Amino acid sequence: MLKKVDKIIGRLILALFPKAKDLPVSTNYKNILIIKTVAIGDLVLLLPTIKALKEHFKGAKITLFTTPRVREVVEDLTFIDEIIYYDILGKDKGLKGLKKQIDIIKSKRFDVSVDFEHYYNFTAIIARLAGIKTMAGFSIEGQPRKKLFNIKYPYLVESHELEAFFQAALVFGVAKKELVLVPLATTDEDSLFVDALLFSSGIQKGDLLVGVHPGTSNSAKSRRWYPDRFAEIIDDLIKGYGAKVIITGTKQDKAVIQEIMSEWSDGGDRRQSGLWRPVCVTELSLKQFAELCRRCNLFISVDTGPMHIASAMGTKTVGLFGPNIPSKWGPYGFLDLAVYEEMDCSPCTKQYLGKVSNCTTGDCMKLITVEKVLEKVRQGLVSCKP
């Protein structure tokens, strides 16, 4: 609904503004607003660019404008000085909430805004109405929001999203460099929580630990893989490698996880006495989840935000792809572990245009076989003994 309202109303509002004048990049920005409202995976991939801008503009204050949904991804990072949360679907919804955000941003007197949204119009409109004199953002064909930007950077459709974000840093004078993901800022409390979870689950230091994440948001069901195939992967991990397996998810993933466990339990001798039974966890905070990922030797996931968190924590990550392509959205640093079978209709998800898959057949995910995933598992665990 938000996307439709933004597209219709946002375009009407944008038509009222004159085209912004092009401005040169300054080397003296002291108060910088970074804009990116969604989603978890996007923010994980954006962090290296924010960090690079902070290091480049020495002494500058970096403020992030985002939504509460990504709070645990962005909080407690040393290169983000302040965060403004826009609860657009909650307490800040409607015109009153919109005016509140405009007033907050106006009061901060930013030198420049750097907008990393692809298609949402409301962030550019807010920045303009807040009186920011220099606005920067993507120049994407067919997106009217670019008319408000004084500084434009290209959107690299064919590049990985992390590298596409980093184009902004290059335009602002940051030197080209090797890019690495930034881990979430977990706490001692998160570490102790995971210690207790593993201990109570019978998992000891030195055990081969593999995480499995099968769920997605309801808007991305086309990215899900088959429960019976996940069950086979888990069975092979336990029997072939002696692995301890933790299946992760949110409350809304409980049905998917239960289906996997049902398939696993129904599989022949899997019920035999003494066979390790996978642990299922659906109540973790994002930071606790990140700390759990750090402990895993391998993480297997469909294409979703937690996959990016796992790779950001330095864990070898096997990503399963269909509607999206791994060269664009794969687990950065572990792209060689991605599983993808190309089809003529892929990718049918194009976030930069606000387009999500409406596929009902799931043919691309059907092409991902158990053996193809196990091949990547073997590759990821090559240095780990069963």
Q: What are 199-243's pLDDT values in tens digits? A: 999 999 999 999 999 999 888 888 999 999 999 999 999 999 999
Tens of pLDDT, residues 251-309: 999 999 999 999 998 765 555 546 779 999 999 999 999 999 999 999 999 999 999 99
Is residue 275 domain-shared with residue 156, that is, in the same domain? no
Exposed (0-12), middle (13-18) or buried (19+): which is 100, by Cβ within 10 Å? Answer: middle
217 shares a domain with 148: no
Asked whether residue 165 falls in the same domain as residue 197, the answer is no
Note whether residue 318 is domain-resident.
yes
**Percent of the chain at pLDDT exceeding 70:** 97
The residues that bridge with 65 in the sheet, in sequence order, are 35, 84
The domain containing residue 67 runs over which residues?
Answer: 2-171
Confidence of residue 350 (pLDDT cuts 50, 70, 90): confident
The pLDDT value given to residue 284:
97
pLDDT at 58: 96
Amino acid at 380: G
First to last CA, the chain: 49
Q: Do 231 and 375 belong together in one domain?
A: yes
Residues 37 and 163 in one domain: yes
More confident residue, 275 or 15: 15
Looking up tokens 């390790």, which residue turns up?
A: 276
Domain ends where: 171, 202, 237? 171
Is residue 36 a contact partner of residue 66, using CB atoms and an 8 Å limit?
Answer: yes
Q: Phi/psi of residue 269, each to 5°?
A: -85, 15
In this prediction, residues 41-53 reach a mean pLDDT of: 98
Last residue in a domain, options 171, 205, 232: 171
Instruction: Give the pLDDT confidence score for residue 267 in this predicted structure.
Output: 65
Is position 143 within any domain? yes
CA–CA separation, 376 and 341 (whole Å): 14
Q: Note every long-range contact of 5-9, with CB atoms under 8 Å and residues 24 or more positions apart, other chains counting.
A: 6/120, 6/121, 6/122, 7/119, 7/121, 7/354
Whether pLDDT at 335 is above 90: yes
pLDDT at 354 over 80: no
**What is the average per-residue pLDDT within 49-69?**
98
d(CA 182, CA 202): 30
Q: What percent of the chain has pLDDT over 90?
A: 84
Residue 209 falls in which region: left (phi positive, over 0), alpha (psi -120 to 50) or beta: beta
Examine residue 384 and state whether it is found in any structural domain, yes or no.
Answer: no
Residue 233 shares a structural domain with residue 103: no
Q: Output the DSSP codes for 95-131.
A: HHHHHHHHHHHHHH--SEEEE--SS-SHHHHHHHHTT
User: Of 171, 205, 238, which marks where a domain is finished?
Assistant: 171
Mean pLDDT taken over the chain = 93
Are 147 and 209 in the same domain? Answer: no
Q: How confident is the model over 137-180, as pLDDT tens digits?
A: 999 988 999 999 999 999 999 999 999 999 999 999 999 999 99
Please name every residue paired with 319 in a beta bridge, in sequence order, or none if there are none.
301
Give domain status of residue 151, yes or no.
Answer: yes
Instruction: Identify whether the C-beta of residue 213 lies closer than 8 Å to the C-beta of residue 302.
Output: yes
196 lies in the same domain as 65: no
Q: Under 8 Å CB-to-CB from 215, ≥6 apart: which residues?
A: 224, 249, 250, 252, 253, 256, 257, 302, 304
Q: Residue 88: how many CA atoms within 13 Å on its side-chain side?
A: 20
Asked whether residue 41 is domain-assigned, the answer is yes
Residues 280, 198, single domain; the answer is yes
148, 24: one domain:
yes
Tell me: do 343 and 304 sit in the same domain. yes
Number of domains in the chain: 2
Q: Is the pLDDT of residue 86 over 80?
A: yes
**Residue 133: CATH number of its domain:** 3.40.50.2000
Please indicate, yes or no, if residue 386 is contained in any of the structural domains: no
In a domain, 180, yes or no: no
Instruction: Please report whether residue 44 resides in a domain.
Output: yes
386 pLDDT above the threshold of 50: no
Query: Same domain, yes or no, for 358 and 289?
Result: yes
